Chain A
Amino acid sequence: MNTRTIEIAVGLFVAAGMAALFMLAMKVSNLATYGCSEGYVISARFDNIGGLKVRSPVSASGVRVGQVVAIEYDSDGYEARVSMSIDPQYDKFPVDTAASIMTSGLLGEQFVGLQPGAEEEFLAAGSEIELTQSALILEQIIGQFLYSMKDEES
């Protein structure tokens, strides 16, 4: 086989490898969301964050608007402090927006849901959401339910 054919074949091989990497990066990984991760960061305090993790989604009306960037325990207020990065295109959340930790489906992952309020002013970088609702812990709910059953019987 002559050198030209071999070189063309190797060129095709390398190009196919690069194309495969590119396809994996663009189609099935979060490369596309890296560009707009330069959002503004807001925070919220929760009594209990349940199974929330860093990189969990933040959504409003079911649409993903950002992601959790940090979770820490505030030992002064005995609360969890969750920092969220919101995409800059969604910059019109009123200051009385409520944040709650929800679960997608019965067994799904947990995410922060934002419920816009009615104020005229908007949340900006560094501001904190006052109205929060903790994660629903299924075991606690079942426990409370069982206790109330027992009360009714007695």
Chain B
Amino acid sequence: MATDVTEAKTTNLIGEPVKRVEDPRLFTGSAQYLDDLRLHGMAHVAILRSPYAHARIDRIDTARARGLPGVIEVFTGADFEDLNPLPCAWQAGGVENFVATPRALEIDRVTFTGAGVAAVVAETKTAAEDALELIDVDWVPLDPVVDLEAAIEDGTTQIHENAASNICMDWHTGDAEATEQALAEAEVVVEQRIVNQRLIPTPMETRGAAATYEPSSGEYTVWLSSQCPHIMRLLMTAFVFGIPETKMRCRALQMGGGFGTKIFLYPEYVLVAALAKKVGRPVTWIETRRENYTATTHGRDHISYLRIGAKRDGTITALDVKTLANLGGILSTVAPGIPTTLYGRMLSGAYRIPNIHCQVLGVYTNTGMVDAYRGAGRPEATYAVERAVDLLARELDRDPVEVRRKNFIPPDAFPYDPKILAGLSYDTGDYEKALDRALEIVDYEGFRKEQADARKEGRHLGIGFSTYVEMCGVAPSAWIGTVGQGWGASMWESANIRVHLTGKVVVTTGSQSHGQGHETTLSQIVASELGVPIEDVTVELGDTLGTPFGYGTYGSRSAAVGAVATYKSAQRIKEKARRIGAHMLEADIEDVEFEDGRAYVKGAPDTAKTIQEIAGAAALAYDLPEGEEAFLDDTTYYDPPNCTFPFGTHIAVVEVDAETGQVTLKRYVAVDDVGKVINPLIVDGQVHGGIAQGVAQAMWETAEYDDQGQLITSSLMDYAIPKASFFPAFEVERTETPTDVNPLGVKGAGETGTIASTPTIVNAVTDALSPLGIRHIDMPLTPERVWRAIADAKGGE
């Protein structure tokens, strides 16, 4: 039977700025986030947290709290002694890690302000919170260790019994001896201590958990705001509860951001699940913003000592970096992996550096937990390398653009092995192309003239560069799972595609959107590949029931790994549709093609079977080719052969008011190369948001503890989340160098902005102030810090 298929033809949507399919429920207020979940008979949990950074708990008296009307029960750490401490799931590879991890509630000792020690379950949120005031704890304060450099000095209080000198791990990469020798032989060596300050990630939606327990089957259902529900289930069941993985279902609903903080297993998740069983009712806990600031992970917090060696002509010969990475008072889920694999291994940046060595000491202090925050290690690496190159250019009195160009890895050198990536190589790159385009946009020559004129008037204009490279799409399992990298699991991603009898398509995946728009991106791929209208594709994610096991979303891996899994399943669905289509057309399979949602005999495209017709036939299965299974259904577990390495050039133009220290960001230009782009609207949005977070680190944000380990910046009143008026409109463009790692050519775009932007700003401000002899100021470049640097440079005032 001939079918007129002209209407079924669908255009290719890959690369198109498709409006997001998830948006209507979000802008009408009907999306269900965790705090919007209403379970019948739901009780509310509030958690008592340590007011001390370091203390022993002698006794906890909950009697008065139990007596408050509305309180169902009050629990302390002793009630959960049967549960294991949380696992540290990614340790620094190849070295011993001295691990200390949290428990559901701490029992006899706390190592940061905000650690949970007791929990109230009550009929209402207010009753639960009121009851916290009535719990009496006999605290014995201990000496807090707050300063990162002092923490490892002799004689400093040791926080954990197993971690001498408060060192969790001592990790290195590269060749120490060769680097030392190259530095000794270098014509010029520049040294600098740099601080990459602690940040509070601040997704607009805080964390939370809700749980039910079904005694007849012994099954838990746990709702979480999580970037990786399958990992949550795995870690809770196999590591903490010691129950079969099948006895728990984890679900993430609509998520209000994560930025890394929602990757991890937190004590409260374990606690809430356990409480559902103990009180025999559904329970819920929604984190307050203050808790989000003290008890959710922070990011960055490195102090590094850089030494860069070069020839007088600007050729870099060596880079040595020693870094103290603050891990906080106790380890979060992947804390030691971030400042090692994702940091030390990226210190070659976009440059050929023949000799590199990096040592990282992971250090305990009595501060909040530190783990991945957007970029996770790569922003810190980029800041170190891009500052080092700028300092070198300044020392040599050379143009920072020229020094970068001179040391770039050239396009014909790919794949490029920087020798510190434990066997991986940068996939593809054309670094000068992005640089040249960015210079053109900013009119570099014109700017230098303007700057010279401004200097004559006593005005301080500056320009800063960051020609970064980063690593996305983690990761080949054989690489990440090796001893050298330390993660004891794999890193593939899953997708399943089913084409139902009606021709409607359901995609499930282990990837987990927390604002990025996975539903749209994956729908674009599936609609384009299968040739169905995008409205006919539904993407389901975030629930361990009904999605294939997957590792979730972080490290810009959902396009380069998750979407590729989806793409591969689409190819296999197409192949099966071709076979069934050939049968329906009564043609030889070799003579039949599948294209634009239709199977047809080569040379006779007008006589075709549509994907919808084929799906119907496959589902009904009355008449299939011999040996063919019913239904169009395919699952892929895609394990990437390499990571991907996006790159680009960011340029900032600033003006500094030398009287007040105020920095004004006048222009911000970003030319990124993230490989092929699936949806430019979404990629631009990711870049904008990333730049805003990175610029905010460079200029305003910092998490501050006092010398007793109290978090001073513990609310949005004190922590400087930027506002709309803080920014100019960013000028964002792209070059496109596809990766050869995956068939989509995509590299990943979620973190470029945060990775590139901090050195861009600091390089711009130090450029502006170079006539005063200022070569470095630590972030954030607040008016006070800049003013002090200027005052110091002028000899004090």
Chains A and B are bound partners: no
Chain A residues within 8 Å of B, Cβ to Cβ:
none
Chain B residues within 8 Å of A, Cβ to Cβ:
none
